[in-house]
Structure 1
Amino acid sequence: MEGRGDEDEDDDEEEEEEAGGGLQITPQLLKATSGEFSLESILLLRLRGRGIARLGCLGHCTNLEWLDLSGNAITQLGPLATLTSLTVLNLAQNRVTNLEPLASCRNLQSLNVAGNRLRNLRQLRCLGGLRRLEILRLRDPLARLANPLCAVPAYRGAVADLLPTLKAIDGERVSGRGSELYQLCRDLDTSLGRGAGAGAGPEAPRVAQPWVEASFWDPRPPRRSSIVDEAYRQFGEVLRECRELSRRADDTIAQAERALGGRPDPNSFVF
Structure 2
Amino acid sequence: MEPPGEKPGEAGGLQITPQLLKLRTGEFSLESILLLKLRCLGLADLGCLGECLGLEWLDLSGNALTHLGPLASLRQLAVLNVSNNQLTGLEPLATCENLQSLNAAGNLLATPGQLQCLAGLPCLEYLRLRDPLARLSNPLCASPSYRAAVRELLPGLKVIDGERVIGRGSEFYQLCRDLDSSLRPSSSPGPRATEAQPWVEPGYWESWPSRSSSILEEACRQFQDTLQECWDLERQASDSLAQAEQALSSVGPTSSFVF
TM superposition score category, shorter chain reference: 0.5 to 0.7
AA at the equivalent of 2:107? N
Q: CA deviation at 1:121?
A: 1.0
**Relative CO higher for 1 or 2, CA cutoff 8 Å, sep ≥ 6?**
2
Equivalent positions of 1:224-239 (< 5 A) are: none
Normalising by structure 2, we get a TM-score of 0.61
Q: Within 2, Cα distance between the matches of 1:25 and 1:52?
A: 7
Task: Tell me the alpha carbon deviations over residues 113-132 of structure 1, each in whole angstroms, 9 at most, x when there is no partner.
Answer: 00000000110000000010
Structure-1 residue corresponding to 2:36: 45
Unpaired runs of 5+ residues, structure 1, are 1-17, 178-271
Matching residue within 96, 117, 138 for 1:105: 96
Q: Within 2, Cα distance between the matches of 1:21 and 1:58?
A: 18
Question: Are 1:142 and 2:133 counterparts?
Answer: yes
Matching residue within 56, 62, 66 for 1:65: 56
Task: Tell me the alpha carbon deviations over residues 135-173 of structure 1, each in whole angstroms, 9 at most, x when there is no partner.
Answer: 000000000000000000011111011101100000000
Q: Within 2, Cα distance between the matches of 1:37 and 1:174?
A: 42
Secondary structure of 2:119's counterpart equals helix
8 Å contact kept, 1:49–1:71: yes
Structure-2 residue corresponding to 1:28: 19
Paired positions, count? 160
AA at the equivalent of 2:119? G
Structure-2 residue corresponding to 1:76: 67
Secondary structure of 2:155's counterpart equals coil
Structure-2 residue corresponding to 1:85: 76
Q: CA deviation at 1:176?
A: 4.8
Matching residue within 155, 158, 164 for 1:164: 155
AA at the equivalent of 1:55? L
Q: Within 2, Cα distance between the matches of 1:103 and 1:131?
A: 10
User: Once superposed, what is the RMSD of the aligned Cα atoms?
Assistant: 1.3
Task: Tell me the alpha carbon deviations over residues 89-127 of structure 1, each in whole angstroms, 9 at most, x when there is no partner.
Answer: 000000001111000000000000000000001100000
Matching residue within 107, 116, 124 for 1:125: 116
Moved over 6 A (4+): none
Task: Tell me the alpha carbon deviations over residues 50-91 of structure 1, each in whole angstroms, 9 at most, x when there is no partner.
Answer: 000000000000000000000000011100000000000000
AA at the equivalent of 1:131? P
Q: CA deviation at 1:175?
A: 1.1
Structure-2 residue corresponding to 1:192: none
Q: Within 1, Cα distance between the matches of 2:125 and 2:152?
A: 13
Q: Within 1, Cα distance between the matches of 2:65 and 2:14?
A: 10
Normalising by structure 1, we get a TM-score of 0.58
Structure-2 residue corresponding to 1:260: none
AA at the equivalent of 1:76? H
Q: Within 2, Cα distance between the matches of 1:137 and 1:90?
A: 9
Structure-2 residue corresponding to 1:14: none
Secondary structure of 1:129's counterpart equals coil
Q: Within 1, Cα distance between the matches of 2:10 and 2:126?
A: 28
Q: Percent same amino acid among aligned pairs? A: 70
8 Å contact kept, 1:19–1:75: no
Q: Within 1, Cα distance between the matches of 2:151 and 2:54?
A: 29
- More helix by percentage: 1
Q: CA deviation at 1:20?
A: 2.3
Name which one, 1 or 2, has greater alpha-carbon Rg.
Answer: 1
Structure-2 residue corresponding to 1:206: none
